[in-house]
Structure 1
Amino acid sequence: MPKKLLISIVFILTLLTGWGGSTHFTTANAATDNSLTKIQKKGTLVMGTSPDYPPYEFQATVHGKTKIVGMDVAVGQKIAKDLGVKLKVKSMSFDSLLVALQTGKVDMVISGMNPTPARKKNVDFTHLYYQGGYSIVINKSDKGIYQDKDSFTGKTLGAQTGSTMYTESKKQTSNTKVKGMTSVSDLILALQNHKIAGVAMEKPSAQAYVANNKQLAMIPSHFNLSADDTVAAVAFKKGSTALVNKVNHSVDQIKNQDLVNKTYLPAAGKYLKTNTVNTSMWHYWKAFLTGVEYTLIITVCATFFGFILGVILSLARMLQGNPLKTAIRWLATAYVEFIRGTPMMVQVMFVYFGLGLIVNLPALTSGIIAIALNSGAYVAEYIRGGINSVDAGQTEAARSLGMSSGATMRYVILPQAIKNIWPSLGNEFITLIKDSSIVSIIGVSELIFQSNIVRSDTYRGVAPIAVIMVLYFIMTFTASRILNHFERKMQHD
């Protein structure tokens, strides 16, 4: 790697890490705790949760609209009401919840979360609002084979990534492979397809899945658990002492009046029964249509801005001459190499959570920005290759006619370059249709996100996946036909 390029990359990484460090320093040294007044002034309380864990939190169709319900949502509503603010529920994967809390994307996390010592180092917890236990869900046909966690020797046991079930399954089983997934519905699907032998989860959730799926059964786990591993509490950002103290009054009322068992769980059970009344895929056409809409919005916007960025980067990479142009060329090269050398998923999370420390971007906007930044790096290389493929005589002819270098590039070189790389640009567009699914990890309601909603609603694992496969194919095939049409027109011209 050229020495100048290496120096540029190190410089960029230094800026990024330095920015992150200075932000942490500022946050850690905040002198005043205005957490309570900030929420009351804002008038809303944003609750982060992972709605794939009935009866704690899950998706349900209410009056034709999909909403997040469950006993944890009822807890959040009680807290918001006592604070005199409006509750807003934000959905994301379980292992992203604490990051979202620390970066200010959500105000609190209620997701059946255990207040373990490791978590207490990073966030503040309220008093406990519920105490349960662990069970293991298995296929009903295997009920005579497995009795508890010690029966899975030589087998694979699943658990949700980032949960205490995952940690304890790894600690307390021997000769057992523990497989983690971000979604419990994915784990249940893997169980039914015999990819794993069992799923460790909270007892109420296990009961919910078994009650609504006749192919499943539940066995005791016999995990050796501490008090912190079987309870649930509300998480807040570290240092939110005033807010936590205020919320503790609500949590204590919930615990003392046993509202979870007497009110919240029975209400969640009614939603669970409603979900299984009509589990046909046609019943959820609005959810799939919403997913298609968001997928196309992300793809079109990311393609547009990615193309503009790609043109700028490709031209920057071809600059020659004075030291300023050389510096710009090396910076553009460093950007392209850095983006192409890191996974898009990491870039999406960095834009949403990392930049969120400076400006609170919505999930959809963050997803579009991240995918556009990623696409721009690849488009830059396509365009640079297209420009290099244009015969040098074209430039000489244009300049001999008195055209400036800018006009030559705009009216002579770029049109021919675009024509040469059109198939590559079309392939990039089709790829982005599929890659847009990555933004589901930050809670954007695209097609993958909506399919998870339907799976959580219906307890059907394969049918929603089959539907979105068909929808993705329709979108990509249609886009391919349109792009081929314009390609033929360009060749004819």
Structure 2
Amino acid sequence: MALKRLVQAAIAAFVLAAAVPASAQQVLKVGSTPTGVPFTFLDTKTNSIQGIMVDLITEISKDAGFKVQIEPMQFSTLIASLTSNKIDIISAAMFVTPARKEVIDFSEPFYSYGEGLLVPKSDSKSYTKQDDLKGEVVGAQVGTAFVDALKKSGLFSEVKAYDTIPDILRDVNAGRLKAGFADYPILAYNLKQGGFPEARIVESYKPATIGSVGIGVRKGDTELLAKINASLAKLKAKGTVEKILDKWGLKAQGT
């Protein structure tokens, strides 16, 4: 009996010891979008989500001591997926806004930008502000800070909500939409690839909505948020964040 108890105790000790590294390397599900290049996009060669936000959360996870599993989903479903525990982290081109902060918590921001104005190349006007398009039909991506601001402005006869930014690009490129508003870096990157030759960004336009991108976690998940912020600060100090941005053609900005 003594030998049996000794064996049982040894097995229990082994199981407990084996569980320690497993808990230290927990796998967290990260919601990301397949259509936000260069921040996030679906790499068809590897059938995986890639981009700035994937590189960033991967580096953060290495430093903070957890693993990540990237879950592709539409931008408009990210917050609902987080609050319903389908994912643990949002790492996408998502602005930190007061309305969103009421629902989820955000890390310290790491990049700031505003909306870009997209029009057909046949339209050569030098628009500088939204008022210049008063009464027109314009488009923006559903769930973004831009679409809400455009609707609240009351300037436009209609604000069409699109599922993805490439959908906006296609309609403007084909002349089906007068103008589209979307994340400037994403529009610029897409146009550089040459897939929308009949569309252009209006460089004279000054954005009305400028925001900062952060990583989202569930309300009250203070331990995870603290880990992410601590690792993000280290990566900024080491120049890793700047290297990631440079890899995807963006310059580091003060936030």
Same fold (TM over 0.5): yes
Distance 1:120 1:210 in 2: 32
Distance 2:86 2:163 in 1: 19
Q: 1:251 to 1:221 in 2, by over 3 A?
A: farther
Q: 1:258 to 1:230 in 2, by over 3 A?
A: farther
Q: For structure 1, list consecutive stretches of 5 or more residues without a partner in the other structure.
A: 1-36, 270-493
Identical residues among aligned pairs (%): 25
Instruction: Identify the residue that residue 60 of structure 1 maps to in structure 2.
Output: 43
Shift of 1:221: 4.1
Q: Does 1:166 align with 2:150?
A: no
Shift of 1:205: 0.9
Distance 2:239 2:199 in 1: 29
Q: Does 1:143 align with 2:127?
A: no
Shift of 1:268: 2.9
1:265 aligns with one of 232, 236, 245: 245
Q: Secondary structure at the match of 2:135?
A: coil
Shift of 1:194: 2.4
Instruction: Identify the residue that residue 80 of structure 1 maps to in structure 2.
Output: 61
Instruction: Identify the residue that residue 180 of structure 2 maps to in structure 1.
Output: 199
Q: How many pairs align? A: 227
AA matched with 1:140: K
Instruction: Identify the residue that residue 124 of structure 1 maps to in structure 2.
Output: 105
Distance 1:78 1:43 in 2: 15
Bigger CA radius of gyration: 1
Shift of 1:250: 1.7
Q: For structure 2, list consecutive stretches of 5 or more residues without a partner in the other structure.
A: 1-19, 250-255
Q: Secondary structure at the match of 1:127?
A: coil
AA matched with 1:121: E
Distance 1:143 1:253 in 2: 45
AA matched with 1:249: A
Q: 1:166 to 1:147 in 2, by over 3 A?
A: same
Whether contact under 8 Å (2:64, 2:231) holds in the other structure is no
Shift of 1:145: 6.4
Query: What whole-Å deviation, never above 9, does each CA across 1:317-353 have from its counterpart, x for those lacking one?
Result: xxxxxxxxxxxxxxxxxxxxxxxxxxxxxxxxxxxxx
Distance 1:264 1:97 in 2: 23
Q: 1:140 to 1:173 in 2, by over 3 A?
A: farther
Distance 1:141 1:40 in 2: 58
1:94 aligns with one of 75, 91, 106: 75
Instruction: Identify the residue that residue 370 of structure 1 maps to in structure 2.
Output: none
Instruction: Identify the residue that residue 165 of structure 2 maps to in structure 1.
Output: 184
Root mean square deviation, CA, Å? 2.4
- Map residues 265-284 of structure 1 onto 2, 5 A cutoff: 265-269=245-249
AA matched with 1:52: T
Query: What whole-Å deviation, never above 9, does each CA across 1:13-72 have from its counterpart, x for those lacking one?
Result: xxxxxxxxxxxxxxxxxxxxxxxx9x95562121101121111111224xx422211111
1:222 aligns with one of 194, 201, 206: 206
Distance 1:267 1:239 in 2: 33
Instruction: Identify the residue that residue 7 of structure 1 maps to in structure 2.
Output: none
Q: TM-score, normalised by structure 2?
A: 0.80
Instruction: Identify the residue that residue 90 of structure 2 maps to in structure 1.
Output: 109
Query: What whole-Å deviation, never above 9, does each CA across 1:350-390 have from its counterpart, x for those lacking one?
Result: xxxxxxxxxxxxxxxxxxxxxxxxxxxxxxxxxxxxxxxxx
Query: What whole-Å deviation, never above 9, does each CA across 1:458-489 have from its counterpart, x for those lacking one?
Result: xxxxxxxxxxxxxxxxxxxxxxxxxxxxxxxx
Whether contact under 8 Å (2:172, 2:199) holds in the other structure is no
- Which has the higher relative contact order, 1 or 2, with Cα contacts under 8 A spaced 6 or more apart? 2
Distance 1:148 1:93 in 2: 29
Whether contact under 8 Å (1:60, 1:66) holds in the other structure is yes
Greater strand content: 2
Q: 1:256 to 1:206 in 2, by over 3 A?
A: farther
Q: Secondary structure at the match of 1:72?
A: helix
Shift of 1:252: 1.8
Q: 1:51 to 1:221 in 2, by over 3 A?
A: farther
Whether contact under 8 Å (2:120, 2:179) holds in the other structure is yes
Whether contact under 8 Å (1:51, 1:58) holds in the other structure is yes
Whether contact under 8 Å (1:128, 1:255) holds in the other structure is no
- Map residues 266-415 of structure 1 onto 2, 5 A cutoff: 266-269=246-249
Query: What whole-Å deviation, never above 9, does each CA across 1:426-457 have from its counterpart, x for those lacking one?
Result: xxxxxxxxxxxxxxxxxxxxxxxxxxxxxxxx
Distance 2:115 2:175 in 1: 21
Q: 1:206 to 1:136 in 2, by over 3 A?
A: same
Shift of 1:253: 2.8
Q: 1:216 to 1:192 in 2, by over 3 A?
A: closer
Q: TM-score, normalised by structure 1?
A: 0.43
Whether contact under 8 Å (1:159, 1:200) holds in the other structure is yes
Q: Secondary structure at the match of 1:141?
A: coil
- Map residues 225-264 of structure 1 onto 2, 5 A cutoff: 225=209, 229-257=210-238, 259-260=240-241, 262-264=242-244
Distance 2:201 2:239 in 1: 25
Query: What whole-Å deviation, never above 9, does each CA across 1:205-247 have from its counterpart, x for those lacking one?
Result: 121022123322112543434xxx4100010011101110111
Q: 1:143 to 1:46 in 2, by over 3 A?
A: farther
Shift of 1:267: 2.5
Distance 1:255 1:193 in 2: 41
Q: 1:66 to 1:131 in 2, by over 3 A?
A: same
